[in-house]
DNA sequence: GTGATTTGACCCAA
DNA sequence: TTGGGTCAAATCAC
């Protein structure tokens, strides 16, 4: 809980800095304010980085303990929920294992694209195979389900869900489940929990100029290509599942990156742990009024 | 021919 | 009972 307090303190500082920045930009906005703005931004980033470190240190226990994903060494069947279908008796799940992946560590990301048809930024460096799509109650757009292409070859049971935000067709909510145990995904895993560092590689907002502010970890999307996350009437063809948005753009290591070059065109908001999700909610609310958290 | 996607059906947690 | 997650046959693309 001490971490939470420290986190709130850091975030409060961010708020204060933001307000100062806003005041500066509003009052001055000229060349005079430039240096001040840079200083303030630098301060903001430091605070955010510390906040993220704090959050991660306090949450990773929660993240890893209850449901460590099936390790590469262990039986790949032990962690997945849908593997039961491979057996003749689908209903014969072991206790605690069901088709619903509830016990996998998960984290969410938000990816913004430049256009409705631009799904490139949704690619995250992992080869995903789409295995389903569902219309979600109350959601304007269907949710697409992906799992790692190497599920059978390498026993990698990572999966993800992609859904357009109902309020913003250009914004995708991506929820990842489980860690990759495949060779490709290990590169991804080694980088994904380090969003702070990757944040240092942030690039200016894409042409769209839109940005979603949140307390969650924010990385820059970048992808050479991606499978169309949804099958809309105007079908996206020529899907290429090889990709990399985080490793390829926000970071430098992308050993499995598609040769196809790409431009960074999406901003993502990532909360690399389940508990971080609450921060996203707070971000949309008045979380910065942190007095209640102190 | 092989691998990926689509889509209706099934299963299970809430 | 309902809605979300997954399966798997059919279909498509290369």
The 10s digit of each residue's pLDDT in A233-242 is 444 433 333 3
CB proximity A132–strand B (7 Å threshold):
yes
Q: Give the separation between CA A107 and CA A252, rounded to whole angstroms.
A: 22
Rg (C-alpha) for chain A, rounded Å, is 20
Mean pLDDT of A170-199: 65
Nucleotides of C under 7 A from a protein CB: 2-8, 13-14
Cα–chain-centroid distance for residue A22? 28
Q: How far apart are CA A236 and CA A230, in angstroms?
A: 8
The pLDDT confidence band at residue A185, using thresholds 50, 70 and 90, is low
The percent of residues above 70 in pLDDT, for chain A, comes to 23
Task: Answer whether any strand B atom is within 7 A of the Cβ of A163.
Answer: no
Chain position carrying tokens 């049971």:
A157
Q: What's phi and psi for A102, nearest 5 deg?
A: -100, -20
A108 compared with A225, residue with greater pLDDT = A108
Residue A59 has pLDDT above 60, yes or no: no
- Joined together, the tokens standing for residue A130 give 């789409």
Query: Mean pLDDT across the stretch A284-294?
Result: 38
Indicate yes or no: strand B within 7 A of the C-beta of A231. Answer: yes
Residues sharing a CB contact under 8 Å with residue A20, sequence separation 6 or more, in sequence order = A40
Q: Which residues pair with A145 in a beta bridge?
A: A132, A161
Rounded alpha-carbon distances, angstroms, from residue A173 to A53, A164, A170, A190, A269? 23, 6, 10, 22, 9
Exposed/middle/buried for A103, CB within 10 Å: 0-12, 13-18, 19+? middle
**What pLDDT, on the 0 to 100 scale, is given for residue A101?**
47
CB hemisphere CA count around A39 (13 angstroms): 7
Rounded to whole angstroms, the Cα distance separating A170 from A196 reads: 25
**Residues 6-45 of A, Cβ under 7 A from nucleic strand B:** none
pLDDT for A6-57, tens place per residue? 555 555 565 566 566 656 555 444 444 455 555 555 555 555 555 544 454 4
Is residue A78 scored above 90 in pLDDT? no
- Chain B footprint bases within 7 A of protein beta carbons: 3-14
Minimum-distance nucleotide, CA of A143 to C1':
C4
* CA–CA dist A123, A109 (Å, integer): 12
Q: Which two tokens stand for residue A122?
A: 């949704």
Any atom of strand C under 7 A from CB of A100?
yes
Give all strands of the β-sheet with A168-177 in edge-to-edge order.
A128-134, A143-148, A159-165, A168-177, A106-112, A266-271, A217-221
Strand partners, A130: A146
Mean pLDDT score of chain A: 54
Distance CA A39, CA A25 (A): 13
The answer to whether A117 CB sits below 7 Å from nucleic acid chain C is: no
Helix axes A2-27, A31-64, angle to 10 degrees: 160
Q: Which residues contact A12 (CB under 8 A, 6 or more apart)?
A: A288, A290, A291, A294
Q: Which of A274, A281, A285 has the alpha carbon at shortest distance from A64?
A: A274
* pLDDT tens digits, one per residue of A117-156: 666 556 667 788 999 999 988 888 899 999 888 887 777 8
Mean pLDDT of A71-90: 36
């Amino acid at each position: 809980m001490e971490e939470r307090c420290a986190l709130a303190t850091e975030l409060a500082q961010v708020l204060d800095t933001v307000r100062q920045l806003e005041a500066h930009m509003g009052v001055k906005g000229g060349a005079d304010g430039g240096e001040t703005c840079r200083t303030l931004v630098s301060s903001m980033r430091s605070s955010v980085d510390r906040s993220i470190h704090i959050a991660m240190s306090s949450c990773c226990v929660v993240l890893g303990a209850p449901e460590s994903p099936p390790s590469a060494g262990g039986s790949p069947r032990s962690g997945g929920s849908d593997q039961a279908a491979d057996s003749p008796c689908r209903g014969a799940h072991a206790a605690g294992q069901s088709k619903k992946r509830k016990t996998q560590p998960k984290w969410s990301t938000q990816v913004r694209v430049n256009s409705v048809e631009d799904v490139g930024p949704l690619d995250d460096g992992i080869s995903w195979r789409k295995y389903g799509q569902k219309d979600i109650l109350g959601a304007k757009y269907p949710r697409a389900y992906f799992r790692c292409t190497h599920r059978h070859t390498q026993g990698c049971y990572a999966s993800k869900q992609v859904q357009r935000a109902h309020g913003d067709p250009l914004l995708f909510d991506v929820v990842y489940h489980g860690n990759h145990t495949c060779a490709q995904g290990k590169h991804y895993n080694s980088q994904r929990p380090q969003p702070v560092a990757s944040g240092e590689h942030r690039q200016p907002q894409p042409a769209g100029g839109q940005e979603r502010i949140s307390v969650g970890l924010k990385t820059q999307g970048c992808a050479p290509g991606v499978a169309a996350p949804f099958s809309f009437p105007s079908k996206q063809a020529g899907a290429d599942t090889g990709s990399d948005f985080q490793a390829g753009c926000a970071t430098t290591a992308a050993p499995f990156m598609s040769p196809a070059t790409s431009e960074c065109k999406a901003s993502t908001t990532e909360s690399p742990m389940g508990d971080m999700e609450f921060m996203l909610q707070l971000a949309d609310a008045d979380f910065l009024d942190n007095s209640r958290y102190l």
